[in-house]
A and B are shown apart, each in its own frame.
Chain A
Amino acid sequence: QKEVEQDPGPLSVPEGAIVSLNCTYSNSAFQYFMWYRQYSRKGPELLMYTYSSGNKEDGRFTAQVDKSSKYISLFIRDSQPSDSATYLCAMGNTGANNLFFGTGTRLTVIP
């Protein structure tokens, strides 16, 4: 079993739709949870991170963590064509200092 599982998609939605991206994990030692966005032929860039269960909002993006279920989500409201990218969940713990990534979900927002 992989430590981080993510549905690879692809996911295609119309502009303005609400997008839900999800990951599950098996390692209860993970302490922080991140979402990276990766445009084609670019390196990943950090969107959001959180340490605790619950919701964290940043503009059109909301990160949700449920540690009891080992499940994290990223919601994108009012999706835009510029949101078209691959979204990677990543997790780690402060002791190890390295990240474990999901496979990424490829999102296309159609104008």
Chain B
Amino acid sequence: EAGVAQSPRYKIIEKRQSVAFWCNPISGHATLYWYQQILGQGPKLLIQFQNNGVVDDSQLPKDRFSAERLKGVDSTLKIQPAKLEDSAVYLCASKDYRIEQFFGPGTRLTVL
């Protein structure tokens, strides 16, 4: 079974630039999550999708972050404009009806 795929793996941008991350979940997984993991901290949920609908985006800074999951499969997370404090690893996870969330390798973002 293929795991959760994410790209790019690394990204370096300057502040005020925009950036997009892509996630391809495990086939058949209806639920998809984006987490932000700042260095030395645990993952923090940004947004949760069920198929192509948003379940929870209460922690998403909507003035600069946006996410979509067209057709209920792949998802993209965008930051525009980026700030220094957005430097983090962005993790995508997916799950089916069971409890376990499967995580991708993450995208490491550095904002200069």
Contacts and interface: CB of A to CB of B under 8 A. Distances in A.
B partners with A: yes
Interface of A: 4, 6, 8, 32, 34, 41-46, 49, 88, 90, 96-99, 101-104
Given A96-B56, A103-B41, 7 more contacts: A32-B99, A34-B99, A41-B106, A44-B91, A46-B100, A49-B100, A104-B42
A96 B103 CA distance: 18
Is the interface on chain B under 10, 10 to 19, 20 to 34, or 35 or more residues? 20 to 34
Contacts of B108: 41
B97 to A, nearest CB: 10
A98 B105 contact: no
A46 B42 contact: no
Interface of B: 4, 31, 33, 40-45, 48, 55-56, 91, 93, 99-101, 103-106, 108
A34 B42 CA distance: 13
> Of A4, A34, A44, which is in contact with the most chain B CB atoms at under 10 Å from its CB?
A44
A98 B35 CA distance: 11
Contact of A101 (B42, B104, B106): B42
Contacts of B33: 98
A42 B45 CA distance: 17
Contacts of A99: 43, 45, 101
A24 B50 CA distance: 30
Contacts of A49: 99-100
Given A97-B48, A101-B44, A103-B41, A44 B103 contact: yes
Contacts of A97: 31, 48, 55
